[in-house]
Amino acid sequence: MTNLNDVTKDAKKLANDYVHEVYELIKKRNSDETEFLQATREIFDSLRPVFSLHPEYISNGILERLTEPDRIITFRVAWEDDQGKVHVNRGYRVQFNSDLGPYKGGIRFHPSVNTSIMKFLAFEQTFKNSLTGQPIGGGKGGADFDPKGKSEREIMRFAQSFMTELSKYIGSDVDVPAGDIGVGRREIGYMFGQYNRLKGGYEAGVFTGKDPNHGGSLGRKEATGYGTVYFVEEMLKEKGLSFAGSKVIVSGSGNVSTYAMEKAMQLGAKVIACSDSSGYIYDENGINLKTIKYLKEENNLRIRDYLKEHPEAEFNEDCSKIWSIPCDIALPCATQNEIDEKAARLLVANSVKAIGEGANMPCTKEAVVRFVENEVLFAPAKAANAGGVAVSAMEMSQNSMRLSWTEEEVDEKLQQIMKNIYISCLNAARDYGRPGNLIIGANIAGFLKVANAMVAHGVR
Ligand code: NDP
Ligand code: 2IT
């Protein structure tokens, strides 16, 4: 590689013009896709130095190609509720990029699901999957279906109807879905069952996040949350800090959040607050995780019910106020854009030391700027929450080999992958003139692998 210092003014100008032109193009083409534009903007801002050193990415039109998904599939999902009333939702699968492997990414069931959210998630997934070092491309899917208040049978019928259409487009070497918001083991079971029924066989590797009693990997459920904490611990270590003895806030109380709390506690942190979409709880004695699992994982109850067991805790129905509680480490693990500039200011004013993004794009652009300006350690989502998909790829390997690794084996591999991702981000940030900036490092390291594969595979 030529040195960044050797880059001529002309090469810099060419790179800047290229990034600007492509961004204007995608802004015009996707003008109403706020989240997608937010995600692409962040990547574009990071990549300027890459294009000034690698004009071959410009001549190969990498950025134009990488911001237009291979395909977007949308479809009707019709289903009957328990009263026999027919409902229609919209299903999606965005197959973004398959230069590194089959499309891979979760399925989200949430009323907010739309094309912009699906595209931002699939775009981010492409970079995240590249960072894991495993052979997986990027995709995402879902439906604007609200699982809240639905019976078990309604969820089953919805999941089966969704899969009846999606089954035409996926396969263990084509596209491998997993869970995301509103989709856990139960929903995956129904979709996996329906896929196999339609295909008349048993294709273990077509879905990940399956129950370990029937084809899933041990450690997948815990992987995203644990991985986020492993990544943040690496970042803290560099500054002589640690989870041990720290006060931590984790938003959400779903899959990612629960296991981020568990690992943070195992490393000696005190988790003092968590939330769901109807409010947050604050327990200054430290959250009791057994109660959280009982409420959310086992019984689908609301977080405010925590107070029935722990009356000394406080409940506040404004979820966003969770960030006004002073803490050392904040782990947003619920959803996109949950930390805005106002929340970031509060966290900074209360001397937060580190942010770890367990959710996908949980911090707005303005919030990220605030953290970086104030030298708050920042672990960006595509690196920090890659542990989930990394163990998904391990599940694919185990399914192919028709054998199962122990929980310890999976956890050891997960820890190694999170360390490797951390090092790749640090190295890329250093090589491209922004030492210590993990946001830029993650974007560049994730990009380079995909871009090189795209050059190798020719213009398509
Ligand atoms: P879950 O559905 O298991 O949990 C989501 C949690 O966030 C719930 O507590 C939910 O509350 C809360 N929540 C959802 N939407 C909102 C909202 N608009 N405002 C406030 N709270 C909200 O999802 P996951 O834990 O799987 O996913 C959480 C995040 O992590 C998402 O951004 C997802 O994309 C990302 N992620 C997930 C991975 C995985 O392996 N599952 C991997 C990598 C990233 P309630 O109970 O009220 O619905
Ligand atoms: O955002 C994500 O990385 C996920 N929802 C998990 C994807 C996967 O295929 O395990």
Question: By alpha-carbon position, which residue is closest to atom 4 of ligand 1?
Answer: 254
**Is 199 noted as a catalytic residue in this protein?**
no
Question: By alpha-carbon position, which residue is closest to atom 4 of ligand 2?
Answer: 106
Residues 6+ positions from 397 with CB-CB distance below 8 Å: none
- Whether the pLDDT of residue 323 is over 70: the answer is yes
CB under 6 Å to ligand 1: residues? 106, 179-182, 224, 252-257, 276-278, 319, 333-335, 358-360, 385, 388
Q: For residues 101 and 132, is the Cβ–Cβ distance under 8 A?
A: no
Q: What does 136-151 look like in DSSP terms, one character per residue? A: --EEEEEES---TT--
pLDDT digits (tens, 9 = 90+) for 105-144: 999 999 999 999 999 999 999 999 999 999 999 999 999 9
Q: Which residue has the tokens 């960030």?
A: 323
Q: Which DSSP category does 216 fall into? A: P
Look at residue 6 in the predicted model and tell me its pLDDT.
Answer: 83
Identify any residues that bridge with 316 across adjacent strands, giving them in sequence order: 280
For residue 362, how far is its CA from the centre of ligand 2 (angstroms)?
Answer: 15
* Distance (Å, whole) CA 59 – CA 54: 9
Counting from 1 in the atom list of ligand 2, the atom nearest the Cα of 179 is 5
Nearest-5° Cα angle at 381, 50 to 448: 25
What's the chain's average pLDDT?
97
- Whether the pLDDT of residue 1 is over 60: the answer is no
* Amino acid in position 242: S
* Residue 317: burial class (beta carbons within 10 Å; 0-12, 13-18, 19+): exposed
Question: Two tokens at 244?
Answer: 């041990």
Nearest-5° Cα angle at 125, 49 to 264: 100
Q: Which residue has the tokens 């920042």?
A: 378
- Whether the pLDDT of residue 450 is over 90: the answer is yes
**From 104, 119, 140, 382, the catalytic residue:** 140
Identify any residues that bridge with 176 across adjacent strands, giving them in sequence order: 104
pLDDT digits (tens, 9 = 90+) for 332-341: 999 999 999 9
For residue 314, how far is its CA from the centre of ligand 1 (angstroms)?
Answer: 22
pLDDT digits (tens, 9 = 90+) for 68-78: 999 999 999 99
Q: For residues 77 and 143, is the Cβ–Cβ distance under 8 A?
A: yes
For residue 253, how far is its CA from the centre of ligand 1 (angstroms)?
Answer: 8
* Distance (Å, whole) CA 16 – CA 13: 5
